[in-house]
Structure 1
């Protein structure tokens, strides 16, 4: 029985299905980001409180991902991924009918738990079912679905909200996602190389604790927190500034600013290749400098200059994230799935905690306060990067 190979109908079906799965997951996760100023006005809450619509979801996603991957070892890959997508799609539709901010947050909390089913398992499915020579292509297609979904979710909700309302926008995302979820369920090939294993949560937590005792991995986890925390903070509050004077942009235009995400498609590959020649420490430091420079440029008043700063910041983020996440894979010599899940836990925790904290700086100090907070976060990453480079390779093993 052959594994999925590039060029075969089964390979194409699997890739289209997982592209759709990534698209659904990240469009649902981030569809609220351009709507935060609207939530603040409609429900009479502060910017920081409005940002909780994303923060609570990324936090429960981070926690749930630590468990979901282990559940799939016992229950199977496809069934959990399909259930995750279908339930997430229905939850978005229910969220559109939220009567108050409390119910909106409640739906988003549950959304994070349910969404964890796909990102925690998709890479494991590909690693098992796709032949090694075709795995790079398959993984690239899946990850592109993630990035395009995150971008499209923001753009679609922004545009539909302008013409109708945020409720119709979220309902539309839910309907599109439900249709794509059916496609995923019907077309993703069943697992052929998966063997169920007994559920051993104790073993999971033991391995997680073991990784946390590795000083290099701990540095990488804190860097993940800093990177995602600063990234989400910038995008959470840029809409508040651009919707107000002197810019007075429409919700649609603000949503389209997220198209600069496409710079990440290039930077993650380019900086990954560059690290092979210049070293991971040097390229990660370069990415951090790009992020700080881009954030500082957004303090300029001209709109085009501000957008250029956002683009540079985004370029640096995706490149830095690719270096840090790949460094985790090289550092952990055993139980790599648990090491990666911890990286994602810190990554999304940064989104939740820093993303909401940024609202305090926006409320009290405006955009310059937000940028000051972001720059301060990123500066902490430099000594961690130097510490990483100083840790001897012989400490790599996780015992």
Structure 2
């Protein structure tokens, strides 16, 4: 069935919101070496400028999804996107490291309102046959935004010799995106308010965790996102050291690989309809783990190839798992999506920060060893899910 104009606008608007969120959220990641030098903090500590935002977002996803289930999703997404842009601008003027972390955490808190509502909004407003594709495009927008934010902050910071200029540029783009999103998203037609009574909520939570697949899919999200953040957090440190000694703009160029993630998300949305979610998830989990192992190769082209394989595999797994979660969610789509995404971003914060211990003790091989262990866990879980009814 051909999508209507409003259905196209919904998909485009929500995908734009996802792009803008991740444009803002990961803007400090390619700048970690400069931030470490500016504020005289360690590699593990400076990673808090990334994980403070992702961590607070993970914590707030569930309560915000409940509020959205009760009071509506559109206003929450509008306010969150605008607030995130303002926090990004404030972070560009942070006078010390603790203020920087505080503003980035506030940015994550604002951003939480978008993923807390986005997938549930798509599931409610679009016909069943369009949901997997729309969710794939939304996740693709996330990946594209993450790539664009990293590239832009690195390039602008390099051009002006100031990390503040890079964060300022992202904040201004965020404000523009919030305005376009406000104009583009049509009013909701199918929203039904859900109860916030504790007894009803507890019954829903028990039902969700009694499901044969949902808790395992939440684990895939936690461990998989931990791999992504762990690899890309410490990659700038690895590439800034001998024998590479790359400039910030060149390190930022590595994040062009996120374009593969954007393509993989949309590709996985199509392939799951043909071959089933289980097969796609298992094959892509194997691919992402092989990609992690390949980054141990010393020459730079080998590292880039390994990261390309990992990035494609990871985003394909995430897209298939997200669509599967939405399919199994039932009437509590908002809560289920929030539990999945909370696991996803909490994994990025916990494993992404904990990877600093591996870096401090064994440098890049230590990080890769930890990420390989995570990749094996994802493979084992997807193997376990292979016979689960879709």
TM over 0.5: yes
**CA 1:280–1:195: 2 relative to 1, 3 Å:** closer
Partner residue in 2 for 1:103: 99
Of the three residues 157, 175, 194, the one matched with 1:178 is: 175
Instruction: Give SS of 1:245's match.
Output: coil
What pairs up with 1:268-307 in 2 under 5 angstroms? 268-271=265-268, 280-307=277-304
Of the three residues 77, 83, 107, the one matched with 2:79 is: 83
Of the three residues 229, 234, 238, the one matched with 2:231 is: 234
Partner residue in 1 for 2:52: 56
Partner residue in 2 for 1:121: 117
1:257 aligns with 2:240: no
Partner residue in 1 for 2:316: 319
| Distance across 1 between alignment mates of 2:191 and 2:103 | 33
Q: Is there any run of 5+ residues in structure 1 with no aligned partner, and where?
A: none
Of the three residues 32, 41, 45, the one matched with 1:45 is: 41
1:83 shift after superposition: 0.6
Greater Cα shift, 191-200 or 131-140: 131-140
1:192 shift after superposition: 3.7
1:46 shift after superposition: 1.4
Of the three residues 346, 369, 382, the one matched with 1:385 is: 382
**CA 1:207–1:85: 2 relative to 1, 3 Å:** same
**CA 1:275–1:23: 2 relative to 1, 3 Å:** closer
Instruction: Give SS of 2:113's match.
Output: coil
What pairs up with 1:5-84 in 2 under 5 angstroms? 6=3, 8=5, 10-11=6-7, 13-84=9-80
Partner residue in 1 for 2:158: 162
**CA 1:153–1:204: 2 relative to 1, 3 Å:** farther
| Distance across 1 between alignment mates of 2:242 and 2:48 | 25
Larger Rg: 1
1:159 shift after superposition: 0.4
| Distance across 2 between alignment mates of 1:42 and 1:158 | 15
Instruction: Give SS of 1:120's match.
Output: helix
- Do 2:11 and 2:138's aligned partners in 1 also have CA atoms closer than 8 Å? yes
| Distance across 2 between alignment mates of 1:137 and 1:285 | 20
| Distance across 1 between alignment mates of 2:119 and 2:329 | 17
1:224 shift after superposition: 1.7
**CA 1:316–1:95: 2 relative to 1, 3 Å:** same
Greater Cα shift, 248-257 or 140-149: 140-149
> Over aligned residue pairs, what C-alpha RMSD do you find?
2.6
- Do 1:70 and 1:201's aligned partners in 2 also have CA atoms closer than 8 Å? no
**CA 1:342–1:182: 2 relative to 1, 3 Å:** same
1:242 shift after superposition: 1.0
1:161 shift after superposition: 0.8
1:210 shift after superposition: 3.3
- Do 1:208 and 1:342's aligned partners in 2 also have CA atoms closer than 8 Å? no
Instruction: Give SS of 2:213's match.
Output: helix
**CA 1:283–1:197: 2 relative to 1, 3 Å:** closer
Greater Cα shift, 305-314 or 284-293: 284-293
TM-score by length of 1: 0.88
Instruction: Render the CA deviation track for 1:166-212: whole Å, top value 9, x for unaligned.
Output: 11111111111112212222332233433445544553344224323
| Distance across 1 between alignment mates of 2:131 and 2:385 | 29
Partner residue in 1 for 2:205: 208
1:189 aligns with 2:175: no
**CA 1:6–1:328: 2 relative to 1, 3 Å:** closer
| Distance across 2 between alignment mates of 1:138 and 1:363 | 41
1:225 aligns with 2:222: yes
Greater Cα shift, 132-141 or 167-176: 132-141
| Distance across 2 between alignment mates of 1:207 and 1:61 | 22
| Distance across 2 between alignment mates of 1:191 and 1:332 | 20
- Do 2:85 and 2:172's aligned partners in 1 also have CA atoms closer than 8 Å? yes
Greater Cα shift, 340-349 or 368-377: 340-349
| Distance across 2 between alignment mates of 1:75 and 1:308 | 46
| Distance across 1 between alignment mates of 2:212 and 2:123 | 28
